[in-house]
Chains A and B, each alone.
Chain A
Amino acid sequence: MAVKSLVLKNEYRDSIFLMRISKKLEELEGVQKASAIMATDANKDLLRDAGMLTDEIKGASSNDLMIVIDAVSSERAGEVISSAEGILAEEAKKRVEEAEVIYKTLDSAIGAEAESNLVLISVPGEFAAREAERALKAGKHVMIFSDGVSEEDEIRLKHLGKEKGLLVMGPDCGTAIINGIGLGFANVIKRGSVGVVAASGTGAQEVTSLISAGPGISHAIGTGGRDLHDEVGGITMLMGLKSLADDPETKTIVLISKPPSPEVAKRILKAASEVGKPTVVNFLGGDPKIIEKINLILAVTLEDAAAKAIALQRGEKPKGVTFSADLNEVKNTAEKEYEGIGPNQRYIRGIYSGGTFCSEAMLIVRDLVGDVYSNAPLKPKLKLKDSNKSKEHTFVDMGEDEFTAEIGKPHPMIYHELRQKRILQDASDPETMVILLDVVLGYGAHEDPAGALAPTLREAKKIAEKEGRYLPVVASVCGTAQDPQNLTAQEKKLKGAGVVVMPSNAQAARMAALIATKGEAWNKMVG
């Protein structure tokens, strides 16, 4: 193997763009590893650990772009570097041909685009607060997609926004929909009359995708995951709620969050009860009594929230969903899956790209199968000692920093390699009874996630089969038929690989529990 590098001085590119290039280069023949990344100290450290730090790179600065190739020969590495240069040149040429106006700084864009009203920020976290502050001072609402912004900065920005009557969505706000326009990671959603305020990106994606099949969405306002902490005080959720209350297009409201601080929850629920529009609340794992006491509608899962909002919109009585298909059919599917199970297969292995999906699934299965270990556990005592090794029932959130910090390995919604490895690892474990997955579609996500996972899932089943076991795989796909990846096509690819595909994350978790208990969980679920 031979390592070659190229440093392009003062050539800044965003991380998603660079990840796509790295992946393209890595797929070329004779390439062991390819990295197109900015020459920050952290990235240089990662390259050193991978044995790919060249002398040329040592002298590069954080404003320089570095391309590093580890290939079968020095000659091949050189050729691949030329290909990378070609890709970058082609992209630059395309921009010139499109004659698009591109601004160099936020200030110049604000100066020239006086009518703009929203600034979407996805720069590295350490710089995001600075840009957000500039936007707010210029009177623009902001959505901060970036994570890695301090809570102190978040509080400061949200107070500034509140003072000026401007929304601060985020930091770490993965998705929002404003008047039918999806921002960040968003699905293609039917325009309609249900408004959402969500402190969870994937939570909002699931709820809006499910409602898209019904009355559709007016707006989905993201708050970022910390908004409902005591220190932040739910500023954005309260402002979002007020916006939807005043919005004539919004007839029904859905609020989504992980369990908020009790004080903040009280404030938000009180405000929600005064809006005068039917409001469904899903505070994942939160206390149901408070919600029902003040005449709001409680939803225990994301799907439940969507189903209840749809029912309210139709003037029907809201009711929960356990399984949406014919119950006999569901039971038969589960039976077929656990028929071939070996005596030592006992545990569910949830391998997630969405943090909220992972939490929701754990909340559902813990009542049916018992404790679930995780890198993001429901209780501290259930934290995995080593996130890379499953123990009994284990659900991993592979979007956590510990998995995404490796070079060129961004979020598992975009890049599947780590999840693929984990699937094969759990398939080899004789104690694994079911593998449970989420697949997320929409703008920003991988262009064909089911296509990328299907061969791995086939291989996983083969590994088990060779050792005389049958390995059930259960998944749900979050998205719509209008998404660039197409929901139906993605589900078909998974089914083709022998996966039991359920219509929601909650139903997939229940199906996994049903299989893992060989049907014993049925009565608890369906009564």
Chain B
Amino acid sequence: MTVELLRKPKIINVGTRNFHDSLIAQGADSVHVDWKPPAGGDQEMIKLLDKLDKL
């Protein structure tokens, strides 16, 4: 279940840049997502987009 994770975590960091920098400083395998609120943060629009995604 978690064998692979515990053996070697390979991380995608979404949000706080500082966490990615700390991971890199520790020699970890990490990539950063420069996240922005989807649809300008409009929750109604996000729900609509998610529905479209599912189609």
CB distance from B35 to the nearest CB of A (A): 5
Residues of A within 8 A of B31 (CB): 101-103, 109, 113, 116
Query: Does A121 count as interface, using CB distance less than 8 angstroms?
Result: yes
User: Which of A146, A181, A218, A219 has the largest count of B CB atoms less than 10 A from its CB?
Assistant: A181
Which residues of chain B are near A219, meaning CB under 8 Å? 6
Asked whether A333 is an interface residue with its Cβ less than 8 Å from the other chain, the reply is: no
Query: A133 to B35, alpha carbons, bound, how many Å?
Result: 16
Q: Produce 1/0 per residue, B1-30, CB < 8 A to A.
A: 111111111111111111100110110100
**Which A175-189 residues have a C-beta within 8 angstroms of B?**
178-184, 186, 188
Q: Of the candidates A113, A145, A181, which one forms a contact with B23 in the assembled complex, judged by CB atoms under 8 Å apart?
A: A181
Query: How far is it, in angstroms, between the C-alpha of A101 and the C-alpha of B19 when the chains are bound?
Result: 16
Specify which of B2, B7, B10 is in contact with A113 (CB 8 Å cutoff): B10
Task: Evaluate whether A104 and B11 lie within 8 angstroms (CB atoms) in the complex, with A61-B40, A62-B41, A167-B5 already known.
Answer: no
Chain B residues near A62: list those with CB within 8 A: 37, 40-41
Q: With both chains docked as a complex, state the minimum distance between the C-beta of A439 and any C-beta of chain B, in angstroms.
A: 19
Q: Which of A12, A126, A242 has a CB less than 8 Å from the CB of B35?
A: A12
- Do B6 and A179 touch across chains, with their CB atoms under 8 A apart? yes
Q: Looking across the interface, which residue of chain A has its beta carbon closest to that of B9?
A: A178
**Residue of A16, A103, A115, A135 with most chain B CB atoms under a 10 A cut-off:** A103
With contacts A102-B34, A444-B22 taken as known, whether A14 is within 8 angstroms of B15 at the C-beta atoms is: yes
Question: Closest CB of chain A to B42's CB: distance in Å?
Answer: 8
Contact status A117-B41, CB under 8 Å: no
Contacts A103-B33, A243-B2 given; does A118 touch B12 at CB 8 Å: yes
**In the complex where A109-B31, A116-B31, A141-B5 touch, is A17 in contact with B14 (Cβ < 8 A)?**
no
Which of B5, B18, B23, B37 lies in contact with A117, CB distance below 8 A?
A: B5
Please judge, given known A-B contacts A12-B35, A116-B31, A443-B22, whether A183 and B11 are in contact too, CB under 8 Å.
yes
Is the pair A117, B4 in contact by a Cβ cutoff of 8 Å? yes
Q: How many residues of B contact A (CB 8 A)?
A: 37
Is B37's CB under 8 angstroms from A127's CB? yes
Residues of B within 8 A of A104 (CB): 33-34, 36
Give chain B nearest CB distance to A449 CB in angstroms: 16
What is the number of residues of chain A that contact chain B, defined by CB distance less than 8 Å? 63
Q: In the bound complex, do residue A106 and residue B10 qualify as a contact, i.e. CB atoms below 8 Å apart?
A: no
Given contacts A118-B9, A444-B19, whether A123 and B1 have CB atoms under 8 Å apart is: no
Q: Which residue on chain B has the smallest CB distance to residue A132? A: B14
A239–B2 CA distance with the chains assembled, in angstroms: 9
Chain B residues within 8 Å of A184, by CB: 19
B37 / chain A contacts, CB cutoff of 8 Å: 12, 62-63, 123-124, 127
Q: Is A122 an interface residue (CB 8 A)?
A: yes
| A116–B34 CB distance below 8 A | no
Contacts of B5 in A (CB 8 A): 117-118, 141, 167, 178
Closest to B22 in A: A443
Bound CA–CA A124/B46 (angstroms): 15
Cβ B22 vs Cβ A14 within 8 A: no
Which residues of B lie under 8 Å from residue A108 when comparing CB positions? 33
Contacts of B2 in A (CB 8 A): 141, 165, 167, 239, 243, 246
CB distance from A41 to the nearest CB of B (A): 10
Q: Which residues of B contact A117 (CB under 8 A)?
A: 4-5, 8-10
Give the shortest distance, in Å, between B1 (CB) and chain A (any CB): 4
Say whether, besides A103-B33, A165-B1, A181-B28, A130 and B12 are in contact (CB < 8 Å): no
- The reply on B44 being an interface residue by CB < 8 A is no
Contact A63 B1 (CB under 8 A): no
Per-residue contact bits, chain A 386-417, to B (CB 8 Å; 1 contact, 0 not): 00000000000000000000000000000000
Q: Is A425 an interface residue (CB 8 A)?
A: no
Say yes or no for A31: interface residue by CB 8 A criterion: no
Task: Please tell me if A119 contacts chain B, counting CB pairs below 8 Å.
Answer: yes
Bound CA–CA A218/B30 (angstroms):
20
A116 to chain B, nearest CB (A): 5
Q: Which residues of B contact A120 (CB under 8 A)?
A: 11-15, 19
Q: Are A119 and B14 touching (Cβ within 8 A)?
A: yes
Given A118-B9, A119-B12: A12 in contact with B36 (beta carbons within 8 A): yes
Give the distance in Å from the alpha carbon of A141 to the alpha carbon of B12 in the complex: 10
Determine whether the beta carbon of B12 is less than 8 Å from that of A16: no
Contacts of A127 in B (CB 8 A): 37-38, 41
Across the interface, which residues of A come within 8 angstroms of B11, CB to CB?
116, 118-120, 181, 183
Within 8 A of B (CB), among A247-269: 247, 249
By a CB distance below 8 angstroms, the chain B residues around A180 are 26
Residues of chain B whose beta carbon lies under 8 Å from any beta carbon of chain A: 1-19, 22-23, 25-26, 28, 31-38, 40-41, 43, 46, 50
Q: Could you list 19 examples of A-B contacts with CB < 8 Å?
A: A14-B16, A14-B17, A61-B41, A62-B40, A104-B33, A104-B34, A106-B14, A113-B12, A118-B10, A120-B11, A122-B19, A126-B43, A127-B37, A179-B7, A181-B11, A182-B26, A183-B11, A243-B1, A444-B18
